[in-house]
Structure formats: structure tokens, C-alpha cells
Amino acid sequence: MSKMNLKSKRIAVLAPVAWRTPPRAYGAWETVASNITEGLVARGWKNVTLFATKESITGAKLEAIIEKGYEEDKSQIPKVSECLHISYCMERADEFDLIHSNFDYLPLTYLPFIKTPMLTTIHGFSSPDILRVYHEHKDTYYVSISDSDRDSGLPYLATVYNGIDLSNLTFRETPGDKLVHYGRIHNDKGTHLAIEVAKKCGMDLIIAGIIQDQEYFDNLIKPHINGSSIQFIGPVNPVQRDALLKEAYTVIHLNLIPERFGLVMAESMAAGVPVIAMDLGSCREVIADKQTGYLVNGVDEAVEAVGKIEQIDRKKCRQRVEENFTIDKMVSEYEKVYEEIFRREGKY
């Protein structure tokens, strides 16, 4: 299949509707769905449609039935909005050559009723129970976002690492003087461990992100926030994130569950900031240990790693992202996946 013929195919990108696509601040899956869509358009795909909220922003054609993300409009019942959104896309399935779903397991339940092939990028399994849906639909197409985040019972076409937008991440060769932790404020992300590291190192810490577990925040995080040595600044948009990373000596990412991909790690390295991460899941795929950061197994090792940050060449941090985790790199890999799907489907 020629590239011209491939890029004339009609692609529907199905984004979640928790947040706007792209999100104003937090919204990892919406971010990736946006980057895929805009990356396809930038690479010359002429027939790309994004299914997202009505206020979403895209260079592709936008189709929407949900006004605002349900996390931004709490009057909605999330499942109602999700069902309306997904069914709206599926009703239009015949208009497309491929549906690229970034919406977890629910769209898979429509497969028996549509003829259009579906590619599902699996951004993580929220619960072992949802594997029942995936295992029921092994005759479709799956992509993982890291080699570590795979289920042995599923037939994957490829691993495609998430790509990030480098245009809003400024590389700075000169480090800041603070520890930074950002992302979801949740036990899974080890926010409390970042506080431990900061106190043991005697360094200031800035925490940013949405509070996903209020009880966790109130009990384990809030008591330590003093507005000086331990600051919490809430969620950050891309401009605020760039300013935050200017302050960073290193980013502390002590996840307590296996990381699925870790946009925070890629974003940090793009700004030249080394990352200290727990050696779980995809962290060793994203970080080059001892070259763009350190993989550790606990707080004490993280404290030791902070003392070795100066050994990291910040230019290598940026270079690793430029070589592996850009939007263009991601979309070029998806193009190979699309071509393989069309080959298997006989859609030449």
C-alpha cells in the first residue's frame, strides 16, 4: 500500500470524555488521543475525525454529543455520558475505515454490531475484572503503551510508546533547586514518599496535580504542606508545567504500582530534568537508568539518587525523548499498525 493510499483512509479517533481534548491541565488519555489526532493531521492524513467533547480543540474534524467533560461538569453521571458518546461514534462506524479507540474496554462491547475494524490502545487495566471484556474480544486489534503493561492472554500488534508535544516543554541546561512531584495526588503515585525524600534531603518540594483521593490528601499530604519547604500548587496546565519544571532539580516519581507508561517522566526529561522513579512497570523503559535519571526501590535509595543528580547530563534527557517519545515518532509507529490492520482486513 502506498503512503498516499494509506493516508487517504478514514480514521476515527475515539477519546474519553472525562476532560476536554486536549485537557486544560490533567487528562492523560485525552492528551494522548489529542496527540494521535493532531499527529496524523500533521503527517498528511486527510480524513481524520476526533470524537470528543464539544469544546475540544483539533485540526481534524470534530464530532461530539457531550458538551463538557464530566470531571469538569459534575452534574453529569459519568457512565451516562460515556455511553452516549461511545454509541454516537459506533452509530457512525460505517463512515470510517478504522476506529482507533483510546477509551478502555467499553467500546469493545460494540464489536459484534459493527463492521469497521477497531484498534484499541490499552492505557492500562483499571481492574482485573475488565479483562473479561478484553478476553471476550481477542479477534480485534490491540496496542500496548509499554512492554511491561501487557496481559499475556491478549494478541497485541505492537507496543507504541506515547508521544508528547515538545513545543510547550522548554529544555533548560541549568537545573532548578527544588524537588518536584506532579501528576495524580494518589497513594499509587507515592506523593507521600516524595515528601519523605524532600525532608531527608533537606530540600524544598513542590507538589502539583489533581487530588484524586481526598482522604489520602487530607491525611498524608496536607499536614506536611507549609507553603514554603513543602508547597502544593494544584493542577498545572502546559504553561504552568513548563514554569514548574524550570524550578526542578529533579522530579520524584515514586510510584507504588507498576507504571503503565508515565507521561510525567517523558515530559520531565524533555525539559532536561532527570527523574528518580520506582523501578516498577514501564519506568525502566522510559528512563535510561543512570543516564536520564535513576531507578530506585525505596525512599532511602531515592535520597541517595538525589545526591547523584549532578552526574546526569540534562542534554541526554532531552535527547532520549526526542528519539523515543515525540508525537511524530508515536504516529509513525501507529501508521505501521494501521497498515498491518488494513493488510489483514484486505482493505487495499
Confidence band of 35 (pLDDT split at 50, 70, 90)? very high
Instruction: State pTM to two decimals.
Output: 0.95
Write the DSSP string, 36-48.
HHHHHHHTT-S-E
Query: Three-state DSSP class for 277?
Result: strand
Domains of the chain: 3-163+327-345 (3.40.50.2000), 166-324 (3.40.50.2000)
The cell numbers describing 66, all together, are 457531550
The cell numbers describing 319, all together, are 535527547
Write the DSSP string, 206-247.
EEES-BS-HHHIIIIIGGG--SSSEEE-----HHHHHHHHHT
Name the more confident of 27 and 51: 51
Nearest to 184 by CA among 206, 205, 207, 209: 209
Per-residue pLDDT of 232-291, as tens digits, reads 999 999 999 999 999 999 999 999 999 999 999 999 999 999 999 999 999 999 999 999
Q: What region, left, alpha or beta, does residue 88 occupy, with left being phi > 0 and alpha being psi -120 to 50 degrees?
A: alpha
Cβ count within 10 A of residue 77: 10
Per-residue pLDDT at 2 exceeds 80: no
pLDDT at 348: 62
The cell numbers describing 188, all together, are 499509587
Rg (the chain; Cα; Å): 20
Q: How far does the chain reach from its first CA to its final CA, in angstroms?
A: 6
Per-residue pLDDT of 166-202, as tens digits, reads 999 999 999 999 999 999 999 999 999 999 999 999 9
Go through the chain and tell me how many residues it has. Answer: 348
**Residue 120 · residue 101 · CB < 8 Å:** yes
Q: What region, left, alpha or beta, does residue 76 occupy, with left being phi > 0 and alpha being psi -120 to 50 degrees?
A: beta
- Residues 43, 121: Cα–Cα separation, whole Å: 20
Task: Over range 325-343, report the average pLDDT.
Answer: 98
Burial class (CB in 10 A: 0-12, 13-18, 19+), 197: buried
pLDDT at 1: 58
Alpha helices, H only, the chain: 3-6, 28-42, 78-91, 131-136, 191-201, 214-216, 238-246, 263-270, 283-286, 299-306, 314-324, 327-345
Per-residue pLDDT of 308-317, as tens digits, reads 999 999 999 9
Per-residue pLDDT of 9-33, as tens digits, reads 999 999 999 999 999 988 999 999 9
Per-residue pLDDT of 100-120, as tens digits, reads 999 999 999 999 999 999 999
